[in-house]
Amino acid sequence: MTAPVQELASRRRPPALDVAVVGGGMAGAATALALARAGFSTALLEARAPAAWDAQAEVDLRVVGLAPSSVALLDDLDVWTSIRKARAAPYVHMHVWDAESGASIDFDAASEGRDLLGHIVENSLVQWTLWQALQSAGVRVICPAEVTAFEAREGRIQLELAGGETLSAALLVAADGAASPLRRLAGIGTRGRDYAQRAVVAHVTTERPHQATAWQRFLPGGPLALLPLADGRSSIVWSLPEAEARRVLTLDEPAFLDELGVASDFRLGRVIASTPRAAFPLKLQLAERYQAERLVLLGDAAHAVHPLAGQGVNLGLRDVAELRDVLVDARAAGRDIGAVHVLRRYARRRRSADTLDALGFDALARVYAWQSPALVAARGLGVCVLDRLAPLKRRLSEHAAGY
């Protein structure tokens, strides 16, 4: 496959487009590809092209658990086969347990009539594969590019780019991340909270195999997840208070491996080796609205959630699928794809779904932060009851899968 053609922002003014997507991460690249495949003239604007993914390089520390709904979208975009063959780890079980109460809950693909629960894949692999598909789909890639201003007028939205170029489209999609400059320029606020935590990430080798299982233990300081990698190792995502995360990052390797073994309850035996560690801050952030005149928010620009449920990227890809379907329906009905009532349909559906999920994850984080013996006992009882209620547990699993 060949990399997409990159165009400098110094080119002459192009003809009007159907959609301009700003932000070339997973959600933005998937949006541009999905809309181009659906027949919309599309441009993707990004400040920095992704580095080429290399199968010989160390596995990216940032991994995502792709739900079946996300896999279905990527397959529909003709990129999933390449991702799966390159390096993807399917998992068929999930075991979640509480360090304080000892209560646990298990999810199993076979018992739910499915082949698997999901795949663990590197963020960089997904992004790079999407970028590789952009050119053949007819997406105009403008990189490097920076949007300095935009204005909706005369049935279009006009973008001003750094360097003086202008670009017009019927619709502008802001997929430019949690800090979203476009969201700020549109005057859209956010609400949420800082968890005062960091997620420490690394890839580790353990005594026992991961058994194609996603393991998650809720500890007083935050959850620890061990996610199966294709090479037999596990990727850890360990949510810790800020000060504790800084301390863990400075431990020498033997001390880190010992502490991680204790934190994981030695569920996979001793932790034998680890890659260098990294960390990123955790927060809950929801945009107050998902649309402005001829503009919609999508992915992290619209919502940032706690990683305990591993659903952040999946929510963003569900945004992509919803926007594509809304725009295709509008075009079939002869409507302006950037009209307020068209964008309101997308915004209403996705903001409602994203908010419910984000607040659900937040509630779960709060429940597992309970420390009093009575509340811990109540939490444990609730988990045990849920594990025995097969229909409800199946509903939760299906929701996580995107069904």
Which residue, among 171, 170, 182, 179, has the nearest Cα to 145 in the 3D structure?
A: 182
Relative orientation angle of helices 26-37 and 123-134, to the nearest 10 degrees: 30
Token representation of residue 14: 């192009």
Q: What is the reported pTM?
A: 0.90
- The per-residue pLDDT for range 37-84, each reduced to its tens digit, is 999 999 999 999 999 999 999 999 999 999 999 999 999 999 999 999
CA dihedral 127, 307, 88, 265 (to 10 degrees): 150
Please, is 212 exposed, middle or buried when counting C-beta atoms within 10 Å of its C-beta (0-12, 13-18, 19+)? middle
Contact status, residue 171 vs residue 20, Cβ threshold 8 Å: yes
Q: DSSP code of 297?
A: E
Query: Residue type for 129, please?
Result: T
- The per-residue pLDDT for range 261-293, each reduced to its tens digit, is 999 999 999 999 999 999 999 999 999 999 999
- The per-residue pLDDT for range 186-230, each reduced to its tens digit, is 999 999 999 999 999 999 999 999 999 999 999 998 999 999 999
**Residue given tokens 């990189």 in the structure block:** 143
End-to-end CA gap in the chain: 32
Worst-scoring range by mean pLDDT, 22-31, 213-222, 277-286, 356-365?
A: 356-365
Instruction: Give the span between the Cα atoms of 104 and 210, in whole angstroms.
Output: 18
Q: DSSP code of 10?
A: T
Relative orientation angle of helices 312-332 and 340-367, to the nearest 10 degrees: 160
Quick one: fold of 17-53+126-191+287-366?
A: FAD/NAD(P)-binding domain (3.50.50)
**Residue given tokens 């050119």 in the structure block:** 135
pLDDT of residue 15: 43
- The per-residue pLDDT for range 223-235, each reduced to its tens digit, is 999 999 999 999 9
Which residue, among 365, 359, 367, 357, has the nearest Cα to 401 in the 3D structure?
A: 357
Q: Where are the strands (E) in 14-165, listed by range?
A: 17-22, 42-45, 63-66, 88-91, 93-98, 104-108, 118-122, 140-142, 147-153, 156-161
Contact status, residue 83 vs residue 66, Cβ threshold 8 Å: no
Q: Coil, strand, or helix at residue 182?
A: helix
Residues 6+ apart with CB under 8 A from 398: 112
Residue 175 has pLDDT above 80, yes or no: yes
CA dihedral 353, 281, 283, 99 (to 10 degrees): 90
Query: Residue type for 104, please?
Result: S
Which residue, among 193, 308, 200, has the nearest Cα to 246 in the 3D structure?
A: 200
Instruction: Give the span between the Cα atoms of 70 and 123, in whole angstroms.
Output: 13
Give the CA distances from residue 243 to residues 87, 91, 99, 267, in Å, rounded to whole numbers and listed in that order.
Answer: 34, 33, 21, 26
